Amino acid sequence: MSQRGDETIATRFAVNILHPALGAEVRGVDMRAPLTAAAFGELHDLWMRHLVLVFPGQHMTDGEHVTFTRHFGEPEIFHQQIIRSQRVPEIFRVSNVDDDGNLMPPEHPTVQQVSLAQLWHTDSSYRTIPCTGALLHGVEVSRTGGETQFTNMYLVYEALPDSLRRQVEGRKARHNFGNLHTLRDLKPLTEAERAAMPPVWQPMVRRHPVTGRKSLYISPIYNDEVEGMSPGAAKQLIEDLTGFAAETRFVYCHRWETDDVLLWDNRCTMHAVTPHDPRERRVMHRTTIMGDAPVLAG
C-alpha cells in the first residue's frame, strides 16, 4: 500500500514514505529481471505520487541499468566525453574515479564539473526538450557526506510568497550549459560541444504532462538570464527562489547505501549533493530518461 494525505493506492510493492514532502522507499523490485506492464504501471503511479523513489539492494551491471531505464524512455547520451562512460555511453559518471578506476584529484576538471552537483539544479534543463527523470545507482558510496537532497517543486510553487510568485508567473528563464564555466574552472567546451547545446528559454512555471500540476522550474547552475530583467535582478531572483526551495520542509535528504538506485522526476524536483571528502572514492552511475515534448508552460 502507498499512502500520502488521505489517498491510498494498492500496489504489489512494499512502500515506505521517507519524508512528508517527497520520497518513498520501494521494495520488491529486481531491476535485473523483466518487468510486466502491470508492475511498471504501479511503479509509475508510485513515482508520480512520491517524485523520488529509492530502490535498495539493486546489484546490477551498467547494461542492466540501461535496459531497466528503457521502461521509462530512451536514455540520453551526454554530449561531453569527459563525463560519459567509455564502455556504456548511456551511463553518465557522477564520480571522482576515472574510467580505469583511478581516484582523480579535486582540481581535476572532471571532478570540478561533477562537484557542481553540490549546487541546486534539475538535470538537462538546458536541452530544448529536457529529460523526464534519472536513475542513479550507488556503485561506491561515500561515508563522509555525498548525500543527495531533493526538493518538491510543486510544493515550492504552491507556497511561494506573493513577492516571488509575481516575478515568475508567465516569465521565462534562460538555461545555458555554458554557464557552468562561470562557476568553476572547467575543461573548456569543444566547438562541437558548444554547438550541441545552445542556450534555451524555459517557462519558470511549468505544468507536469502526467499529473497536470504546476511547479516552479528553475535550474540555478544553468540559469544565466531571466526575461525582462537586468543581470543583477535576474541573479537575485534565482538566488531568492533557490533559498526558498531549499527550506527543509520541502526537502528529503538521502544517505546512500551501496546498490541503492534512486529514480527522480526532473520535471518537478531539484537536487543537490552534500560535500564529501575528495580523497574518498564516490562512484555513482546515472541514466537519464529522454523527454518526449517541450516544457509545458504552467
Task: With CB under 5 A as the rule, give the number of residues binding Fe ion.
Answer: 1
Q: Amino acid letter at 284?
A: M
Centre a 10 Å sphere on the Cβ of residue 69 and count the other Cβ atoms it contains. 24
H or E element, residue 109: helix 109-115
SS3 for 120?
A: coil
If the CB atoms of residues 15 and 200 are measured against Fe ion, the closer one turns out to be 200
> Is 244 within 8 Å of 165 (Cβ atoms)?
no
> For the window 100-139, what string marks contact with Fe ion as x by the rule CB under 5 A?
-----------------------x----------------
Residue closer to Fe ion (CB basis): 25 or 123: 123
Q: Which is nearer to Fe ion, 2 or 291 (CB)?
A: 291
> In the Cβ-directed half-sphere of 280, how many Cα atoms lie within 13 Å?
12
Nearer to Fe ion, 123 or 260 (CB): 123
* Structure-derived torsion over alpha carbons of residues 166, 273, 253, 4, reported in degrees to the nearest 10: 50
Nearer CB in complex with Fe ion: 13/222: 222
Residue 119 beta carbon to Fe ion: minimum distance, rounded to whole angstroms? 10
- CA pair distance 212, 230, nearest whole angstrom: 32
CA 140, 143, 146, 147 dihedral sign is positive
Closer CB to Fe ion, 121 or 281, in the complex: 121
Lookup: cell for 158: 504552491
Q: Tell me how far, at minimum, the Cβ of 115 lies from Fe ion, in Å.
A: 12
Least distance CB 117 / Fe ion (angstroms): 5
Smallest distance, Fe ion to C-beta of residue 47, A: 17
Q: Which is nearer to Fe ion, 15 or 206 (CB)?
A: 206
| Residue number, nearest CB to Fe ion | 123
Distance of alpha carbon 270 from alpha carbon 273, whole angstroms: 11
CB of 92 to Fe ion, least distance (A): 9
Three-state DSSP at 149 gives: strand
Nearest distance from residue 123's CB to Fe ion, in Å? 5
When asked if residue 225 is in the footprint of Fe ion (CB under 5 A), the reply is no
At its nearest, how many Å lie between Fe ion and the CB of residue 3? 29
CB of 124 to Fe ion, least distance (A): 9
What is the per-residue DSSP string for 224-269?
EEETT--HHHHHHHHHHHHHHHTSGGGEEEEPP-TT-EEEEETTSE
* Residues facing 60 on adjacent strands: none
Q: CB atoms < 10 A from the CB of 166, how many?
A: 11
Q: Identify which of residues 123 and 265 has a Cβ nearer to Fe ion in the complex.
A: 123
Site for Fe ion, rule CB under 5 A: 123
